[in-house]
Amino acid sequence: MTEHEKIASRNIRHCINWIVGGWYNCLQDDTPEYLPESKDDAIQEIYDACMQNAYAPGYEGYGKAPKEMRFAGSEFIRNRIVELLRKDGDMQEIADYCGWEM
């Protein structure tokens, strides 16, 4: 990975933890109306969020996305999101509940 991709990957990973954690809470609280309607919607929501905001453990900085996100490239970012979502146990539970295949 290039240095830009490493920084982007870190932001993506923390973004997924932040967003999927919220969705998982919705699942546990029996409020599925707040879950994305499809796997593609989930990927797009995460993509949009990580391109606009900075993420770290327990932190979301609105409008403060690392500039490296732009340099990493859309294809890298989307592929990394899909790869990390497939490995995420909470996302797998959400996908199972919603009937999506990860």
Query: Looking at the 3D structure of the chain, how many domains does it have?
Result: 1
3-state DSSP helix/strand/coil % of the chain, to nearest 5: 70, 5, 25
Amino acid at 99: G
Q: Which domain holds residue 75?
A: 3-98
For the chain, the average pLDDT equals: 96
CA distance 69 to 22: 23
- Return the pLDDT at 29: 96
Reported as a single tens digit per residue, the pLDDT across 58-95 is: 999 999 999 999 999 999 999 999 999 999 999 999 99
- Assess whether pLDDT exceeds 90 at residue 102: no
Assess whether pLDDT exceeds 90 at residue 56. yes
pLDDT (average), residues 49-60: 97
CB hemisphere CA count around 89 (13 angstroms): 0
CA distances from 46 to 1, 28, 80 (A): 21, 20, 11
